[in-house]
Amino acid sequence: MDSNWIDISTPVHPGMPLWPGDPGLNFTRVMDQESGDICTLTQASLSAHTGTHMDAPLHFVRKSATMESWPIEATVGPARVIRIANPTAIHRDELLQHSIQPGERILFRTANSDRDWGKLPFDENFVFIAKDAAEYLAECGIRSVGVDYLSVGGFHQDIVETHVALLGNGIWIMEGLVLNAIEPGDYELVCLPLKWVNAEGAPSRAILRRVVTA
């Protein structure tokens, strides 16, 4: 491996945008060298869906797989970044032109990434995967999908439908990716979620590296 990896994870800090109603994020220094302790030590309280994270099937599908059953191949390997033109939602009609193949790992770079969303308040009108596009991705048989905001489904529509169409068909979901600097094309993706047992999601870290074709 060379060193051309790009971090596509959002910084986790109080004040970052969180899904409305989700538990807040708190960091507490339970030990601090500045107060005379031998070391500095942080305790965190956070939702599994804070910042860059993954959803397991259990998030929206009862009695289904949890995070510790995540297969490494789901989000480690070749991936494609697709630029979405529609400024409102990702729809099947736009995806048809991209020749999506079975087993692909697909990341959508939308208008969400035109702004530094990780530093702004939560935006209810983020670009999301509409139900028709989610069902199309399931028909295509992709392996995993990543989006550049906090949910694959919309705030006002398709939140349940899109999650169910993806998770119910074995597609692992990456959310909260930072794709502002990422051009469309072929990459190597490494997205690693924490190994939280019996959880429906987990905070994750993701990096990308451009595939240079000869």
Among 87, 139, 157, 160, interactor with a second copy by CB under 8 A: 160
Q: Is 7 in the site for a second copy (CB under 8 A)?
A: yes
Q: Is 52 in the site for a second copy (CB under 8 A)?
A: yes
Among 36, 48, 134, 148, interactor with a second copy by CB under 8 A: 48
Q: Is 199 in the site for a second copy (CB under 8 A)?
A: yes
Binding span for a second copy by CB under 8 A among 88-96, 98-106, 126-134, 190-198: 190-198
Binding span for a second copy by CB under 8 A among 43-51, 84-92, 95-103, 105-113: 43-51
Q: Is 212 in the site for a second copy (CB under 8 A)?
A: no
Among 5, 103, 114, 121, interactor with a second copy by CB under 8 A: 5
Residues 6+ apart with CB under 8 A from 209: 1, 2, 4, 5, 6, 187, 188
Binding span for a second copy by CB under 8 A among 57-65, 86-94, 105-113, 139-147: 57-65
Based on the residue annotation, tell me whether 53 is a catalytic residue of this protein.
no
CA atoms within 13 A on the CB side of 80: 14
Give the C-alpha separation, 143 to 166, whole Å. 10
Q: Which of 53, 59, 91, 156 is catalytic?
A: 59
Total site size for a second copy, rule CB under 8 A: 59
Long-range contacts of 111-119 (CB under 8 A, 24+ apart): 111/84, 111/87, 112/147, 112/148, 112/149, 113/148, 113/178, 113/179, 113/180, 113/182, 114/180, 116/180, 117/10, 117/17, 117/148, 117/149, 118/10, 118/11, 118/16, 118/17, 118/51, 118/178, 119/16
Q: Sign of the CA dihedral 49, 15, 7, 110?
A: positive
Write out the catalytic residue numbers: 59
Under the rule (CB under 8 A), what is the footprint of a second copy?
A: 1, 3, 5, 7, 9-13, 22-23, 27, 30, 33-34, 38-49, 51-52, 58-60, 62, 68, 72-73, 76-78, 159-160, 163, 188, 190, 192-201, 203-207
